[in-house]
Structure 1
Amino acid sequence: MKKRLLLPIFASFMLFTGIGANTTEAATFSDIKETASQYIGTPYKYGGTTLNGIDCSAYTSLVFSKFGIDLERTSRAQYTQGTAVSKSNLQTGDLVFFNTSGSGISHVGIFIGDGKFISATTSRGVAIDSINGGYWGPKYVGAKRVADFSNEVAEVKDAAIDFTYYISRGDVALKLAEALKLDTTNTNSPFPDVKSTSEYAGATTALNKLGVFTGNVEGKFNPRSALTRAQLAKVLVEAFNLKLADGAEQFTDVSKGDWSYEYIQILSSNKITYGKGDGTFGVNEKVTIKQMDAFIDRLKLISKN
């Protein structure tokens, strides 16, 4: 199979910054509150990840993704991100957590000021409640600040992503430049957040010169952000010009109405992915370094045939 070199690979990253890419965007308290509020009334569905039905952690992930901030899939996992914040120091945009099941963290919402938070509830869907209310008050566990919206730019806390385990966009650029055998000697990067001394400068410059990617609305590349497995599926399908073959697996967390369904089916039918071994693909999980290497190795084998 012949590889397509001049492809909008990283344009795909930017296309999906609204569904999980962990790039930072300019944002304020008003921005996060307005974005969170626009989904009020969205119905609740356990395990749901779409506007036809969404659960609490998928909802917080959706809202934060609009600002390029990548959250873990479950409320319990999100509680491991960011830095702890006392109840008296809560600010708009903080994640607030509750124990509704009696067995630890089981619900998450977004604090929006004035003692209120917004979340995807089982009874009313996405709704606003008092953090000290009759039901929620006794169930409150704590809060985490994954991003600080008090400044002009929402800065992702270092604790949010472990890049010794997950792969960053910058490292994806390095691996793609290597796979495409690009000349990376020119380090005069066109991106303001990638200095000429950066290890990513050569790869991002080379890929930009090929017209592969251009950056976000601010012209930034955001090398220290992550991407989801669903986003990577689209990137790899387009980068290697893969077509649907026979024998695609059906994953329980990917429905035909999902934007990533076709891309994941194509990867599966070409034996590039086998899922997670439990019947799921892990659409909203961040891509690990090991997974990226495995995908690239399998694609190289196909391209030789």
Structure 2
Amino acid sequence: MNKKWLLPIFASFMLFSTTHINTAEAATKDDVTDTASKYLGIPYKYGGTTTSGFDCSGFTSKVFSDLGIQLNRTSGSQYQQGNAVAKSDLQVGDLVFFNTSGSGISHVGIYIGNGNMIHSQTGQGVSYSSVNDPYYWASRYVGAKRVATFDAQQQAEVKKAAIDFSVYASRAEVAVQIAKALNLDTSNTTTNFVDVKPTNANAGAIAAVEKLGIFEGDANGKFNPSSPITRAQIAKVLVLAFGLENQGETVAFNDVPQNNWASNYVSILASNGVTNGDGDGSFGTDELLKIKQLKVFIERIQQ
């Protein structure tokens, strides 16, 4: 069951024409980055529009769809949407376009600030790159379009409406639970994440899991402690945190093809008896992790 956690917030968005820019009043720049980043590691697939594999425009379409905004299907047709933006005026959420084929628009990514974009590229899948990379992207840059504007600041009421963190696990909650299970020293509250200050209630746990290499920040150096985490992502985190290895034959789920970035991690969890999936032959890779699921997973590992 796929949780569309952002859709209720954005139900009132206006559809846009090729020149109309959405005003995503309830969406923030952090929402854009968090939503796009949850697909990190998914492989590139020509014509792909699902989590089994994305092409460049399939990825941008999926991210904006999660935010309640409809994009055209191809990079060329997406370039016809929104308003042109100068490179010097790029904002988080702008679409950035490139000519990688020598014959017009052939690639698109999502600008996430500080000169970086997130995109699905051949060979690497969904990943971060510099728009100004002198070895490739800079010389192929064509332009940018703004199809929506996003608020700069996170709003408490939006977060509350977006997801109920009394039910779903935040990244901070995962850090706390893993630190507790591993008996990690949480006395050091200094991290390398720009959004986790020493005064943060969970800074000690976050610093501890960072030290072990269990969690990494995004392209902007953020941990995003108040963001949710998917079941696919927790599979990787748990395998790394507890040093799990495959205990037998590969365990497959119908929604986790072998070319899915999380396939190996999910299989390792299942082979260790940590998960049986959703009971219908699927694992629920894109489902948001619930706190009770996190606790069950950790209890099973410790047994």
TM-score scaled to structure 2, two decimals? 0.53
Selected match of 2:227 from 225, 228, 242: 225
> Residue 242 of structure 1: CA displacement?
1.7
Shift of 1:185: 2.7
Q: 1:50 aligns with which of 49, 53, 58?
A: 53
Q: 3-state SS of the aligned residue for 2:228?
A: coil
Give the distance between the partners of 2:228 and 2:274, measured in 1 at CA.
20
* Aligned match for 2:286, one of 284, 287, 295: 284
Q: Encode CA deviations 1:52-94: one digit per residue, 9 max, x unaligned.
A: 7999xx8754x25xxxxxxxxxx8xx6xxxxxxxxxxxxxxx6
Task: Give TM-score, length-normalised by structure 1.
Answer: 0.53
The yes-or-no answer on 1:199 pairing with 2:196 is: no
Distance in 2 (CA, whole Å) between partners of 1:44 and 1:196 is 42
2:236 corresponding residue in structure 1: 234
Q: Aligned partners of 1:150 and 1:201: how far apart in 2? A: 28
Per-residue deviation, 1:165? 1.0
- Name the structure 2 match of 1:246: 248
Partner of 1:24: 30
Q: Which residue of 2 aligns with 1:264?
A: 266
Rate the CA distance shift 1:43–1:207 in 2: closer, same or farther, 3 A.
closer
CA distance in 1: counterparts of 2:255 and 2:201, whole angstroms: 36
1:296 matched residue in structure 2: 298
* Cα distance in structure 2, aligned partners of 1:52 and 1:197: 41
Q: Secondary structure at the match of 2:30?
A: coil
Pair 1:259–1:188, CA change in 2 (3 A): closer
CA RMSD of aligned residues (A): 3.9
- Does residue 95 of structure 2 align to residue 95 of structure 1? no
Counterpart selection for 1:255 from 249, 257, 264: 257
Q: How many residues align?
A: 198
Runs of 5+ consecutive residues of structure 1 not aligned to the other structure = 1-21, 33-40, 65-74, 79-93, 97-108, 110-117, 131-147
Supply the AA of the counterpart residue of 2:271: S
Choose from 153, 169, 178 the match for 1:176.
178
Q: Is the 8 A contact 2:255 2:284 kept in 1?
A: yes
String of CA shifts for 1:238-271, please: whole Å, max 9, x gaps. 2222222225432111111211111111111111
In structure 2, C-alpha distance between the alignment counterparts of 1:173 and 1:230, rounded to whole Å: 16
Distance 2:282 2:57 in 1: 17
> Aligned AA for 2:54?
L
Q: In the alignment, is the contact (CA less than 8 A) between 2:189 and 2:207 conserved in 1?
A: yes
Q: Deviations over 1:209-241 (max 9, x none)?
A: 455545333332211001111111112122222
Any conservation in 2 of the 1:184–1:206 contact (CA below 8 Å)? yes
Helix, strand or coil: the match of 2:234? helix
1:42, CA displacement in angstroms?
A: 6.1
Rounded to whole Å, the distance in 1 between the matches of 2:193 and 2:51 is 36
Deviation at 1:25, TM superposition (A): 7.5
The aligned counterpart of 1:114 is none
In structure 2, relative to structure 1, the CA distance for the partners of 1:238 and 1:187 (3 Å cut) is closer
Identical aligned pairs, as a percentage? 39
Letter in structure 2 aligned against 1:51: F
